[in-house]
Structure 1
Amino acid sequence: MLFVQDQDGAYLPAPKKVVLTEANKLMGSQLQRGALILSADCAKAVVGYKLRNRQHEVFACLFLDCRHRVLVFKELFFGTINHTTVHPRVIVKEALQLNAAAVILAHNHPSGENQPSKQDITLTNTLAGILHVIDVRVLDHLIIGDEVTAFSDLGLLPDK
């Protein structure tokens, strides 16, 4: 529970709006350059926060350095309510410009479904193969629906 101090110095439970504002600040700070992403759970929390409740599909990448520190979180592709087109060359270009060593792929499902589709799995395998050629590791692919599912938790990441 979060408490705030009133004008008289007494501590009272914070209103919902204050709690949400503070939570947003905390989650936003986790995506700032240099923040460490140490686990799938950490990535799921911060990326899920950014992509949840969108009305259309958004495909984003969290680019990381060799120590898994955030370089940048970029929303790269925007689609419809149930589809977006992802161009691997754009992701490769961004990874090279940022000198990224690793990437966490992520996209939302506006329907709330959080299980990967066959197309999601195929795309992940394709991107992992392409990025492997330029020495960029795909650490995970997150599907954001009502909950966040990580490919790493499901054993779906390709061995590259």
Structure 2
Amino acid sequence: MIHAKLQTGEKSGTYVVSEPVTGDELLEIAQRIARRRLAKGRSLSCPSSAYQALQTQLLGKDHEVFGVVYLDTKHRILGVEELFRGTIDGATIHPREVLKEALRRQAAAVILVHNHPSGHLEPSVADERITERLRQALELIDVRLIDHIIVSAEGYTSLAERGGL
């Protein structure tokens, strides 16, 4: 059992694997750790902390996935949801669904996230357009768009860090 192989290390945030593991088991361990980092009530303090948790969940997908991290007023996680699935190079995003879920969760802020299966980290024109549409729509219901993070095997791009919000 993988759970028995993974133990908490002496230093905070470290882990010890007590037995040899396969690549698949290692990925499963990484996904389990990522889910803990996105658990309800955890605080996301910067784009890199969000990226680290989100990248593991989105890597290896051969299609685009668009998700939202819903946050309270202190940027603690209320929930994380994959809202839309697309093709290898795009996904259709419906702002109405993003807003409906933000209201249902009583979110004060959100972080948008999607993957680029190609590995390319540059936001597309479509990425920039939907970010602006969602920012404007969320503003109408007093929900702040903190960031839109694009993840890939090559790293991440934060539209907030690039001044795109």
TM-score in same-fold range (> 0.5):
yes
Q: Secondary structure at the match of 1:152?
A: coil
Moved more, 88-97 or 36-45: 36-45
Which of the residues 138, 143, 158 maps onto 1:150?
Answer: 158
- Identical-residue share of aligned pairs (%): 40
Question: For 2:133 and 2:127, how far apart are their aligned partners in 1?
Answer: 10
- Equivalent position of 1:33 in the other structure: 40
Taking the aligned partners of 2:17 and 2:133, their CA distance within structure 1 comes to 49
**Residue 23 (structure 1) shift:** 3.4
Q: Which amino acid aligns with 2:151?
A: I
Q: Is the 8 A contact 2:30 2:56 kept in 1?
A: no
Superposed, 1:32-111 pairs within 5 Å as 32-111=39-118
Alignment CA distance shift 1:133-1:142 (3 Å): same
Q: CA deviation at 1:69?
A: 0.7
Number of residue pairs matched? Answer: 149
What's the TM-score, normalizing by structure 2? 0.83
Q: Over aligned residue pairs, what C-alpha RMSD do you find?
A: 1.8
Q: Is there any run of 5+ residues in structure 2 with no aligned partner, and where?
A: 1-13
Deviates more, 1:82-91 or 1:49-58: 49-58
2:78 and 2:103 mapped to 1: Cα distance?
12
Distance of 1:25 and 1:127 partners within structure 2: 30
Quote the Cα distance in structure 2 between the aligned partners of 1:85 and 1:113. Answer: 19
Q: Which runs of 5+ in 1 are unaligned?
A: 6-13
Structure whose CA Rg is larger: 1
